[in-house]
Amino acid sequence: MSDYILESLSVFFPCYNEEKNIESTFNKALPILQKVAKNWEIILVNDGSKDNTLKILQKLKKAHPQQVTIVNHTQNRGYGAAFKSGVYTAKYPWITFTDADGQFDFNEIHKLVATQKKTNADLVIGFYNVRQVPAFRIWGSAAWQLAVFILFGLRVKDIDCGFKLFRKEVIDTIPHLEAERGPFISSEFLLKAKKKKFKIVEIGVTHFSRQAGNGTGANFDVVLAGLVDLLRLWFKVNFTKS
């Protein structure tokens, strides 16, 4: 039995039109989860998918009724809303997640847990060893990171990297997360954790190109929603009592 094992772990996968990906993401994670945690649960968040994602989640729940929970958004509310449904549904003291589209290697959870044990971090957050997205996305993220650094002084390699491990205590301690649509949720989460002096440690993770379905993380309305959230939190932090 490896030393780096957790007593209990909650895992969530945010899904938007992932009918082609979620079953393999889930089935790849299952045997790994059984090795890394004595007790575990999987939370499958359906964020108003327009394809057969929900049907597939229900099939997976049927196969694992004890450990699987489905959170269903009847309308698509956005990545932020899906993230919040995952973290606020999680019941175990440790929470992790990856995107549902197979772009991460869940086996690297062993590395995140090992890093946590070595550093006593409250959050172990991934950064892309090599990010498998078009160049314009990489530039877009760089501009976003610069804005977050200038406005809030937060400096991490890849704020939006969709593979993180953290204590539930962080979620229970920080002010309630607000962002819904768009990418701001990750910045809001890390900013609030940093403000409460939680220890954040970064680790390189593998990133694969998306095999099926479309990433919509860079759609104009998504980015605009993020910018609005960014300025709203900046205003709140600087001009109101929190």
Ligand X SMILES: Nc1nc2c(ncn2[C@@H]2O[C@H](COP(=O)(O)OP(=O)(O)O)[C@@H](O)[C@H]2O)c(=O)[nH]1
Applying CB under 5 A, which residues contact Mg ion?
A: 99, 101, 103, 215
Q: Between 93 and 215, name the residue whose CB sits nearer to Mg ion.
A: 215
In whole angstroms, the minimum distance from the beta carbon of 12 to ligand X comes to: 10
**Of 162, 119, 115, residue with least CA distance to 12:** 162
The partner in contact with residue 115, picked from Mg ion, ligand X, none with C-beta cut-offs of 5 to 8 angstroms by kind, is none
The partner in contact with residue 18, picked from Mg ion, ligand X, none with C-beta cut-offs of 5 to 8 angstroms by kind, is ligand X
d(CA 196, CA 175): 10
Cα 4 off chain centre by: 21
The partner in contact with residue 14, picked from ligand X, Mg ion, none with C-beta cut-offs of 5 to 8 angstroms by kind, is ligand X
53, 175, 195 from 172: Cα distances, Å? 30, 8, 14
Largest CA distance in the chain: 52
Q: Between 118 and 224, name the residue whose CB sits nearer to ligand X.
A: 224
The partner in contact with residue 15, picked from Mg ion, ligand X, none with C-beta cut-offs of 5 to 8 angstroms by kind, is ligand X
Residues found near ligand X in the complex (CB under 6 A)? 14-16, 18, 47, 76, 78-79, 82, 99-101, 103, 162, 215-217
The partner in contact with residue 145, picked from Mg ion, ligand X, none with C-beta cut-offs of 5 to 8 angstroms by kind, is none
Q: Between 81 and 121, name the residue whose CB sits nearer to ligand X.
A: 81
Q: Between 140 and 215, name the residue whose CB sits nearer to Mg ion.
A: 215
In whole angstroms, the minimum distance from the beta carbon of 76 to ligand X comes to: 5
d(CA 147, CA 61): 41
**Which residues have CB under 8 Å from 132's CB, separation 6+?**
103, 207, 208, 209, 210
The partner in contact with residue 47, picked from ligand X, Mg ion, none with C-beta cut-offs of 5 to 8 angstroms by kind, is ligand X
Q: Between 41 and 47, name the residue whose CB sits nearer to ligand X.
A: 47
Q: Between 126 and 162, name the residue whose CB sits nearer to ligand X.
A: 162
Q: How many other CB atoms are found less than 10 A from the CB of residue 10?
A: 23
In whole angstroms, the minimum distance from the beta carbon of 209 to Mg ion comes to: 9
Q: How many other CB atoms are found less than 10 A from the CB of residue 89?
A: 16
